[in-house]
Amino acid sequence: MHQITIIIMLHLLLCSVLVFQGCTQEPPPGEKQKITIVFKHGKVFGDPEPVKRLIEEFEEQNPDIRVKDETLPAATDEQHQFYAINLEGKSSDFDVFGIDVIWVQEFARAGWLRDLSHILPQERREDFFQGPIESATYQNRIYAIPWYIDAGVLYYRKDLLEKYGFSPPKSWYELVRIASEITRKEPGLYGFIWQGKQYEGLVCDVLEYIWSNDGDIIIDDRVVIDSPENQQALTLMRDLIYRYRVTPEFVTTAVEDSTRHIFSRGRAVFMRNWPYAWNLFERDDSPIKGKVGVSALPGFPGHRSASTLGGWQLGVNKYSKHPKEAERFISFFTSYEAQKTLSLTVGYRPTLRKLYDDEDLIRAQPFIASLYEVFERARPRPVTPFYMMISQVMQPEFSAVLSRIKEPEEALKTARKQIEFILSVED
């Protein structure tokens, strides 16, 4: 009798443990067990509700899948560190994740991304801007699907240019002339603000001067960063601060949001930034609502304007336990309707070309049509698995020039030697 009591007690104890672990309940007959996938991405600037509603819509259309939405810090270097640590450890704790356009090569080479070429066959790749497609391609295979696109643009005070009879500048020197004249007549204004802090944003800015002077960093595996064209480009950026004085010295500590806040308070004539800022300038409480114009960035005389490609892709963790469900989610989240929704609500610019003819989008955001040519010509940063190391070389050298610690020729020669060493390392 005593043994029976012990057996019963052990049985009850086991059942209570199983209940605590949630392992005793089976789905009702005929009802399929839901699969949970985890979606990791950076913080949404603005209202996150549209993203949540899209996830709910996906779940309604796919009743067998539940999506757990998990947000990472806004800083891209922190996101990169999180992914690198977890993926190196073969973590399956997340399934779909947002990837900066400059990470895809690195992650694909490391074997951390699922090949998605079957989701985006060759004939469908023409639907997207080619810059994001190039960034998502590694060894002729697609490893991420373009989600939203960014490219550098020039914001300007439309009211001030009209007041003094100017059109948006086509060359950097024309911008200097306009900014100098307006700030002379409008005390308290900065002429031109941009991102000059030592970080990835500085590289984006510098490349736009380099490319618009027919320079480059790498051509056919040959490092050409120390060319005369690039020296001239960096010299002009430094001259904007110390010679022409249209750019304040504090620009060497400035990032996207700090420059946006200055411009949004009506304290600058020109600003280089990304398209996300437009929605914020047009809010009802904005001091400059209706006073802002957007154009392509200027270039050097005789050369075309150039914008650095930015934006994010969606990829599938190679170690995901639910890759097929993750692929269904990516297909939904990068679809025409999803991209349209996020453009109207959050300000994410679509990677699908056809959306720039969408009547609803043009009616709500008239300037979006003008972005088509900017995005069509946007250039990716050097497409290589070693880009992050190359960027870490360029950032301090560019910063040293802007801070008058080094001359452009010296800084670029130092960068060339270090980049050549990086590229010489065997895979």
**For residue range 251-282, what is the model confidence (pLDDT) as tens digits?**
999 999 999 999 999 999 999 999 988 888 98
| Domain match, 95 and 234 both | no
SS3 assignment for the chain: CHHHHHHHHHHHHHHHHHHHCCCCCCCCCCCCCCEEEEEEEECCCCCCHHHHHHHHHHHHHCCCEEEEEEEECCCHHHHHHHHHHHHHCCCCCCCEEEEECCCHHHHHHCCCECCCCCCCCHHHHCCECHHHHHHCEECCEECCEEEEEEECEEEEEHHHHHHCCCCCCCEHHHHHHHHHHHHHHCCCCEEEECCCCCCHHHHHHHHHHHHCCCCCCEECCEECCCCHHHHHHHHHHHHHHHCCCCCCHHHHHCCHHHHHHHHHCCCEEEEEECCCHHHHHCCCCCCCCCCEEEECCCECCCCCCCCEEEEEEEEEECCCCCHHHHHHHHHHHCCHHHHHHHHHHCCCEECEHHHHHCHHHHHHCHHHHHHHHHHHHCECCCCCCCHHHHHHHHHHHHHHHHCCCCCHHHHHHHHHHHHHHHHHCCC
| 411 shares its domain with 364 | no
Domain assignment of residue 187, yes or no: yes
Of 377, 394, 409, the domain-final residue: 377
Whether residue 269 is found in the same domain as residue 180:
yes
Indicate whether 145 belongs to any domain.
yes
Which single residue is written with the structure tokens 């694909």? 108
Q: Which range has the worst mean pLDDT, 24-28, 295-299, 372-376, 406-410?
A: 24-28
Residue 26 in domain: no
pLDDT cut 70: percent of the chain above it: 92
- Beta-bridge partners for 146: 313
Residue 71 is part of a domain; what is its CATH number? 3.40.190.10
The confidence score (pLDDT) of residue 369 equals: 87
Can you give the pLDDT at residue 376? 94
Q: How confident is the model at residue 426 (pLDDT cuts 50, 70, 90)?
A: low
Report the number of distinct structural domains present in the chain: 2
83-105: average pLDDT = 97
Q: Which of 10-14, 37-41, 122-126, 234-238 has the lowest mean pLDDT?
A: 10-14
Same domain for 280 and 196: yes
Its pTM stands at 0.87
Query: Is residue 10 in some structural domain?
Result: no
Let me know if residue 93 belongs to a domain.
Answer: yes
Query: Is residue 20 scored above 50 in pLDDT?
Result: no
Mean pLDDT value across the chain: 92
Is 361 part of a structural domain of the chain?
yes
Q: Within this chain, do residues 264 and 413 fall inside the same structural domain, yes or no? A: yes
Q: What is the pLDDT of residue 28?
A: 52
**pLDDT tens per residue across span 342-384:** 999 988 999 999 999 999 999 998 888 889 999 999 999 999 9
Domain that holds residue 369: 35-150+310-377
Higher pLDDT, 26 or 340: 340
Q: What is the pLDDT of residues 306-332, one digit of tens each?
A: 999 999 999 999 999 999 999 999 999
What pLDDT does 3 receive?
45
Query: Do both 395 and 286 map to the same domain?
Result: yes
pLDDT at 385 over 90: yes
Look at residue 7 in the predicted model and tell me its pLDDT. Answer: 41
Separation CA 425–CA 417 (nearest Å): 13
Higher pLDDT, 78 or 189: 189
Residues 314 and 299 reside in one and the same domain: no
- 69 in any annotated domain: yes
Identify whether 2 is part of a domain.
Answer: no
What pLDDT shows up at residue 32?
Answer: 64
Q: Out of 97-111, 175-189, 276-290, which region has the weakest mean confidence (pLDDT)?
A: 276-290
pLDDT digits (tens, 9 = 90+) for 136-187: 999 999 999 999 999 999 999 999 999 999 999 999 999 999 999 999 999 9
